[in-house]
Amino acid sequence: MDRGERMTVSRRQRDRGSSSLTMVLITPIFVVVAFMAFQAAMWAHARVEIRAVARNTAVLVARQDVAVDDARASAAEAIGQTKLVVNPDVTVDSDGVTVVVSIRGRAAGILRGTSVTISATEALPIERHQP
């Protein structure tokens, strides 16, 4: 064996286990970061869903002349079907000129204790046919 081969062999012997150590340190960090990203995506999706329900409810009252109580019940049912929001509180107010729909609840988390409070409010002017 010449000197170059001996250096290569001894270098390999010194690096024994370094890739395993790297994996042991990096894998948990990757799992935590992936978990956090997935959790944030779930919360963002829940916000988008309640905003869409609030907007649709406001449209029902403002443009399709649906009663406020019926619209509130419809919004609560729509949110309940998604199962993304726990304990939703739906408020629909109309003063004859505008309709304001507010939805508040807790976006479910992956683990117990990781839920967050989310809310959405939509306001639209009431549009009716004027003869």
Question: pLDDT category, 6, cuts 50, 70, 90?
Answer: low
pTM: 0.76
**b vs e for 5-41, b when ≥16 Cβ sit within 10 Å of the residue's Cβ?**
eeeeeeeeeeeeeeeeeeeeeeeeeeeeeeeeeebee
> What pLDDT does residue 131 have?
61
CB 52 within 8 A of CB 41: no
Domain count, the chain: 1
Q: Which residues contact 76 (CB under 8 A, 6 or more apart)?
A: 88, 90
* pLDDT of amino acid 91: 95
Is 131 part of a structural domain of the chain? no
Domain assignment of residue 130, yes or no:
no
Task: Write out pLDDT tens, residues 66-79.
Answer: 999 999 999 999 99
Which pLDDT does position 49 carry in this prediction? Answer: 95
Domain range for 39: 3-125
The amino acid at residue 109 is G
In angstroms, the CA 73 to CA 88 distance is 11
